[in-house]
Structure 1
Amino acid sequence: MNERKHDTYTGGCLCGAVRYAAERFEPEMAHCHCSMCRRFHGAAYATFGRVRREHFRWLSGEDRLRAYRADNGTVRRFCADCGSSLSFAPANDDGRYVEVALGTLDGELEQRPDAHIFIGSKANWVEPCDGLPQYVEDRRGPRADG
């Protein structure tokens, strides 16, 4: 079997103060349509990829990171200088993964998102039409598309 060698992906914030490296993204990557992601990113949805903690490291600017803990216990990390959203942690985070905002990657990503989550609270002016599965909330719950 010809197994693909993994790459190290790099990324960072808009102003360049915070930089990271990530390897071996997990297979599940989702476009999140929850109202908090929409507000935090100022966009129709946010796209995240999970990386095991041991395959993720901050390269520079970790001291510039700030965290916002929402009422539901989720934590969003962002650059204190430019405000770029960099990572997300669910309320039940056990520390094994880092969820990276994929829009902050420097280059191409071989994997592709495989689902839309929290479609039940999507913006009414967005209709995903990429054929990916759509979940009312997270992947453990009912699908919105069938």
Structure 2
Amino acid sequence: MKGSCLCGDVRFEVSLERLGMFQCHCQLCRKQAGTASSCGAIVETCDFHWLSGESRIGKWEKESGFSSHFCKRCGSSVPNQFRDSGLYWIPVGLLDDSTMVTVANLFVDEKVSWSNVDSSVNPHQTKPRVDSLIRSVLKENH
């Protein structure tokens, strides 16, 4: 699976046929994505490869540790290393052609009333244990 930012400067490839993804409905993710929820996947470093534009990536971080990585030219959210773990978080909307399986919905308590996004798959009222979320996402990737 190949993906890119809006302008095409940042390009990457994921060497998997399908991805487990989660939808986050928290206010921070909504503001970052500009949508009702943020859809992301987590992949192991060995399954992720930069094709171009890694030097074109900017980063903004809150004191809490929440960060936003983006293309400096077009502003698209881009993949980034997930908590210095050897895993990458990927905004799945960047993928050109992909097969997704939703494995979890996070912060369902913060879902906005106007959202029509189906949050019934494995709903978590707030943030689940990170290790549990990672295991469930990676399980669907293979």
Q: Which has the larger radius of gyration?
A: 1
* 2:102 aligned residue: 113
Size of the aligned set, in residue pairs, is 130
Mark the runs of 5 or more structure 2 residues left unpaired by the alignment: 131-142
Candidates 121, 131, 137, aligned match of 1:132 = 121
TM-score, normalised with respect to structure 1: 0.78
Quote the sequence identity (%): 30
* 1:59 aligned residue: 51
Runs of 4+ in 1 over 4 A off after TM superposition: 25-28
Mark the runs of 5 or more structure 1 residues left unpaired by the alignment: 1-8, 142-146
* RCO comparison, higher one (Cα < 8 Å, 6+): 2
From the superposition, tell whether residues 122 and 103 of structure 1 become closer, same or farther in structure 2 (CA, over 3 Å): same
Candidates 7, 21, 26, aligned match of 1:15 = 7
| Helix, strand or coil at the partner of 1:59 | strand
TM-score, normalised with respect to structure 2: 0.80
- Once superposed, what is the RMSD of the aligned Cα atoms? 2.2
| Helix, strand or coil at the partner of 1:113 | strand
* 1:69 aligned residue: 61
- Between Structure 1 and Structure 2, the one with more helix by share is 2
